[in-house]
């Protein structure tokens, strides 16, 4: 019986949008040259569309072990920026504004800016989900990201399955959603942001069986579900895309692969 319970918990770790998806690059899974080429493809596509800021996601795990309806494991804002390289040369590229896990048990996070190639390093496959906000919302997002509100909305207590309607924990997608709501409603008040989220945003339901849920915290502290009621729900790229499309906040939502661009 004990072995069966352990097996159930281990399977939970495989089917949830697990912490590896929101971690910094670590050991690369794909050739560095191909990672750089794909990262450039995504940012060149964004630049061609005139995007000053976009929400970009990556596939950090095999989609076959992901929960139903969830394809991407990590999201961030990509902001078109002026940069200076190590040799002092100035140029422009997108910078990824991430929330990444830190610590031995993955229960803390910090905010990190990195390059498109850094963002896709460690990805399981070359597949990016992209949301380009409409022009008016892009302008609002840029103001929030450049302001103290962006860091103020960061909660370093990390949970893979953070409930987006509470402030107990946060993951990368919830931070993205909080910043988005701050821009949409013109507020930095986290209580108001959560009230607006509860009223207007529909999170992704994650099916977690009773035994798996009860023992998730024992397997990994970052897999806690103590901030949820009877149903486990979290923010995902897919749920943010649905929210933005339903409220006419997105100019375009699509997927990028090495070979094609697809409507999402």
Nearest to 73 by CA among 89, 61, 86, 56: 61
Q: What does the DSSP 8-state code read for residue 4?
A: H
pTM of the predicted protein model: 0.88
Lowest pLDDT segment from 178-182, 221-225, 247-251:
221-225
Nearest to 257 by CA among 32, 31, 42, 36: 42
Residue 25's pLDDT is what?
55
Nearest to 110 by CA among 155, 142, 165: 155
**Other CB atoms closer than 10 Å to residue 44's CB: what's the count?**
13
Helices marked H in the chain:
2-15, 32-48, 116-120, 135-145, 148-152, 172-185, 190-200, 210-219, 237-246
Interval 11-40 mean pLDDT: 67
Interval 11-39 mean pLDDT: 66
d(CA 13, CA 216): 8
Confidence grade of residue 15 (pLDDT, cut at 50, 70, 90)? very low
Confidence grade of residue 209 (pLDDT, cut at 50, 70, 90)? low
First to last CA, the chain: 43
Residue 23's pLDDT is what?
65
Confidence grade of residue 142 (pLDDT, cut at 50, 70, 90)? very high
d(CA 171, CA 97): 13
Helix, strand or coil for residue 184? helix
C-alpha distance from residue 94 to each of 19, 41, 121, 127, 143 (Å): 24, 12, 15, 18, 16
Residue 226 tokens, joined: 């103590």
Residue 190's pLDDT is what?
98
The model's pLDDT over 41-91, given as tens digits with 9 standing for 90+, comes to: 999 999 999 999 999 999 988 888 888 899 999 999 999 998 877 788 888
């Amino acid at each position: 019986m004990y072995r069966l319970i352990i097996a159930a918990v281990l399977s939970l770790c495989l089917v949830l949008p697990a912490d590896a998806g929101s971690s910094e690059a670590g050991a690369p899974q794909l050739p560095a040259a191909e990672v750089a080429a794909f990262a450039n493809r995504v940012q060149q596509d964004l630049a061609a569309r005139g995007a000053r800021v976009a929400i970009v996601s990556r596939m950090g795990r095999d989609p076959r072990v992901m929960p139903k309806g969830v394809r991407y494991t990590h999201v961030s804002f990509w902001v078109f920026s002026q940069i200076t390289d190590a040799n002092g040369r100035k140029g422009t590229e997108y910078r990824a504004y991430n929330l990444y896990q830190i610590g031995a048990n993955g229960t803390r996070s910090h905010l990190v800016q990195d390059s498109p190639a850094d963002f896709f390093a460690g990805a399981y496959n070359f597949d990016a989900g992209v949301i380009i906000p409409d022009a008016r919302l892009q302008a609002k997002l840029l103001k929030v990201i450049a302001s103290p509100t962006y860091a103020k909305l960061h909660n370093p207590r990390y949970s893979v399955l953070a409930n987006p309607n509470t402030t107990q924990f946060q993951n990368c997608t919830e931070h993205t959603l909080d910043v988005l709501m701050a821009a949409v409603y013109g507020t930095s008040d986290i209580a108001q942001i959560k009230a607006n989220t509860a009223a207007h945003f529909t999170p992704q339901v994650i099916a977690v069986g009773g035994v798996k849920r009860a023992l998730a915290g024992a397997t990994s502290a970052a897999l806690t579900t103590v901030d949820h009621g009877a149903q486990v729900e979290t923010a995902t790229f897919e749920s943010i895309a649905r929210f933005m499309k339903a409220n006419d906040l997105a100019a375009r939502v699509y997927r990028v692969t090495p070979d094609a661009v697809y409507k999402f």
